[in-house]
Structure 1
Amino acid sequence: MSTTNALPGCDTHDMVVVHRVFRREFALLPRMVRAVPDGDVARAAVIATHAREMTSLLHHHHTAEDEMVWPVLRERATLDLWLVERMETQHEAVDGLLGGLDEGIARFAGTAGPTERRELASLLDRLSDALVEHLDEEEASILPVVAQTLTVAEWEELARRGMAAMRKPRLLVILGHILEDADPDERAAFLAHVPAPARLGYRLVGRRRHRRETATQRRGLG
């Protein structure tokens, strides 16, 4: 490890780019659920699969922060501990909503009925609201402190853990989700941390597969 990588100070903007995925997809998911016609279990299954993938990614994202970010801030950062505690409390609230999704998704996927659709969409609305509140506050109050506190090596390890949480067959599509709203500079910076074979795979396969999947998931949303 170089001396530079061992010194405090890292660029946290990649996390802002990742957060956009969660903001966008969890805002769209209630609309996707409401757009499924009564009894259309085939379409409900498509949306359920997407919901499960996004909730899994969010769970792994928060677990990595809980284990690799908050302890370091508590130990090194000069900030009010109530702020870290607030982040942890918000994580618990989001995790509580995520925990209630599994059953709701399963019921909806099995019946595509109006009651199941309404209940799942309502829960997803609540999750989206809680998530936006948390991400906004984290980006405004925590990421600037993280940027001054964690080392480059520690931040890169957090990124590696995030990549490892993605199932390999889905990695190229998830890259599409991450890069969907990125500007050219953000896209280049993010891809610089992605292994060369995955970058090539994204250009050859992943980008097209992501567009095809999202077009199906968002059909009829306007």
Structure 2
Amino acid sequence: MPNLVGITVNHRSMRGDAHRFADLLRDIASGATTNPPERARAIAGYLETLCDGIHHHHQAEDDVLWPVLEASAGAEVDLRELTDDHRQLDPLLEAIRRDARTLAAAPADRAAARRLADVLGTLRDLLDEHIDDEERTVFPVIQRYVSDADWAKVEAAVRKGGKMGFELPRIERYATPAELAELKRMAGPVLKVLLAVTRRGFARREAVIFP
């Protein structure tokens, strides 16, 4: 049976970041939180990478996972609504990139912060609904019909093109202790080394964005 701990943590990290940045930008827009230039630039950089990661994830699902499911499970799975959600994501991600760059250029512009908070809120709500649907309907199909070999291809496609300096430290942030232990067991000693290498830079940026 395919081990879904990796995709589960990945889903949680996307949702968690959408929630905490929507809350942060709402506070900046209201004036409850300051937004000095260094922070605004760090927010824009983080959101740019987050949007790239979300795009890569859903593109890998479209290009690799969906064909595997259709070949393995056939009529047992209906992917039309999930595919429609993916089509809504890219314009939304581009709006986040644009509004984050605008705020980085004018950190004191509360209207720009409000626009970014609004689009992040839309992303948050879409991801919550989409991931709930996907985990409820697709995960049981994966576990019942997809072979370990095919699942390994899906996971390789998700890893390919991912930014490890960004993705790996977020595993530590969002995985439970049991999930982290399982991921380390699956990956072997290399994961411990990579986490040690990437952790410090990620923590520095976190300290600027969420002091």
TM-score bin (small chain): 0.7 to 0.9
Say if 1:107 and 1:89 are closer, same or farther in 2 by CA, change over 3 A. same
Structure 1 72/49 Cα, relative in aligned 2: closer, same or farther at 3 Å? same
Greater helix fraction, Structure 1 or Structure 2:
2
1:94 to 89, 96, 111: 89
Amino acid at match of 2:106: T
Cα RMSD after superposing both structures: 2.2
User: Deviation per CA, 1:43-77, whole angstroms, max 9, x where unpaired?
Assistant: 11111111111111110000000011112222331
Deviations 1:154-213 (A, max 9, x none): 22222222222223xxx244212122232232112222344644421313x333443343
Q: Which residue of 1 aligns with 2:208?
A: 216
Q: Hey, what's the Cα distance between the residues in 2 that align with 1:77 and 1:202?
A: 36
SS across alignment from 1:49: helix
Distance 1:172 1:194, change over 3 A: farther
Number of equivalent positions: 206
Where does the alignment leave 5 or more consecutive residues of structure 1 unmatched? 1-8
Aligned equivalent of 1:3:
none
Match of 2:55 among 59, 67, 72: 59
8 Å contact kept, 2:26–2:113:
yes
1:1-222 equivalences under 5 Å are: 9-36=1-28, 40-79=36-75, 83-112=78-107, 113-167=109-163, 171-194=164-187, 196-203=189-196, 205-219=197-211
Deviation of the 1:17 alpha carbon: 1.2
Percentage identity across paired residues of the two chains: 26
**Cα pair 1:33 1:47 within 8 Å, conserved:** no
For 1:206, give the aligned amino acid: T
Contact 1:176–1:207 (CA under 8 A) maintained in structure 2: yes
Q: Tell whether the 8 Å contact from 1:60 to 1:165 is kept in structure 2 after alignment.
A: yes
Per-residue CA deviation, residues 102-125 of structure 1 (Å, 9 max, x unaligned), is 221221111121111111110010
Structure 2 unpaired stretches of 5+: none
CA contact (8 A) 1:173 1:210 kept: yes
2:184 and 2:191 in contact (8 A); partners too: no
TM-score, normalised with respect to structure 2: 0.86
TM-aligned CA distance change 1:194 to 1:188, over 3 Å? same
Paired with 1:10 and 1:209, the residues of 2 have a C-alpha distance of: 32
